[in-house]
A and B are shown apart, each in its own frame.
Chain A
Amino acid sequence: MNKGMILELSKSYAIALNDEGIMEKIAFKKDMKVGQKIFYFEDDIVKATRSKVYRHNNFIKTFGSIAALFLLVFTFFNTMKVDQAYAIVSLDINPSIQIEADSNKKVIKVEGINDDGKNIDFTDIKGLDIDTGIQRIKEKLVEKKYLDTNTEVLVGVAFTTTNEDNSSYEETLKDAIRATFNTEDITYIKADKKEIEEAKTEGISLGRYKAKESISVDQDTKNNIGKAPVKQITALIKDKENVIQWDAKDEKINEAPVTNVKPEVKNENPPTNVDANTNSNTNTNVGKDRPVTNVPSDNPNSNVDKETGNNGNKPAKNNDILEVEPEAPVVDETKPNNTKPTDNTINIGPSNGTIENNTTSSKIQDETKPNNILPVEPKIDSVNKDTKK
């Protein structure tokens, strides 16, 4: 037992000067006063260094745990946010692409639905605004020359929420799509929440799924709609409800590369057809594909025909370009340009054999269409009529 005079008080301890002249830290007890003389015991003495270390540790621990908690909470909320797609936009050109966007019009996920789409790297689009995201996607497609031959874009849009007002969001999407694909014909379909899941289970894009639901054709065609060319689909659904079509505003930019490629295709016309068939066969692994590949070749034509008939506004333009262009530049640019684009297409996917195969195959497949249009037109029309009848 010691007698001590309290010299100083702090929160957790007091400094006492005992009657031997030793200064000691003692535990704080209530009703202490500076100058008070008290009795204290060995148990009351606080080990100075230990308490200091302890408090220091304590501070770090508290701070660390709070920081960790914040980190946890925020990451948790972030992932929660990311998971919630607000709108789904599917683009079918040839690669089928599905974009998921959140309520702030930011792209949260972009994925390819078919094989061509899966071979494109969309990782850098994630996090962009939906309009710039679509723009970037188009740039990628142009880079890979998918848009050289495909002038039809099938757009499927659906919102995951049904009770909120999405009209302004939808307008933004429409504007973004129209602004981006201003050189292509756009077919726009609105789908609903339920159909997102259904399309996913079937493994086809939303636009294709919706188109499949809307059209009234035989079961066979329906089953193949997941692989059918876009032109065929757009032609089938153009008059349906919920479908909006915008024609290309300026096709010259778009058509120019097409004409460049044409001669090449022309030369190899029979082999490419075979290629297209075999490729589509390998893609689907189903023998049924032949009718499908036949159908696209006639459908684009019928589409063009109908467009000229239905859309009185710009038929001349369409037709002119389609018919006139091939002839004029073909002669000039046949050989020099002919080899270059093919080389380029091959160069795109040297690292991966399948990529190379697919891209070229899809291209050739699509390239055949405009090619076919010109010389085979009447023939195919008749075929078309036959099949329809």
Chain B
Amino acid sequence: MRILLQFAIIVGICLVGEFLHKIVGIPVPGNILGMVLLFILLCLKVVKIDHIKDVSDFLLKYIAFFFLPPSISIMAAGDEVLSQWPLLLAMCVALTIVTMVSTGWAVQLSVQISKTIKLHRKGIDVKRRAKVGSRESR
């Protein structure tokens, strides 16, 4: 599909997101509202993947590049960052591992619990069926 039209759809959604944030006053950044909006539109099949495929694949592939310039601003970082960077670095690394473990455990535990509940229900079903079956056979 036409590239410029794909861009127009995506930028249009950004614009609506900004409108919702700045004019309607929803306290979530406009680009994030735009993402939620696009997701809803995709689910409702108002926008199809084909309508935006080429442009979105391009943007997602080079996602890191678009954030190179803001990261360069670290040059202007104050003494606060420069003086305690080893501490900040260690903190980021340690907290990353803490977060990863807690997330993984939370998912794993809830999968296990839901499996046990399902098994438990099935177990009850089997018992009931067995009972009914035994009555019928009498």
**Is A bound to B?**
no
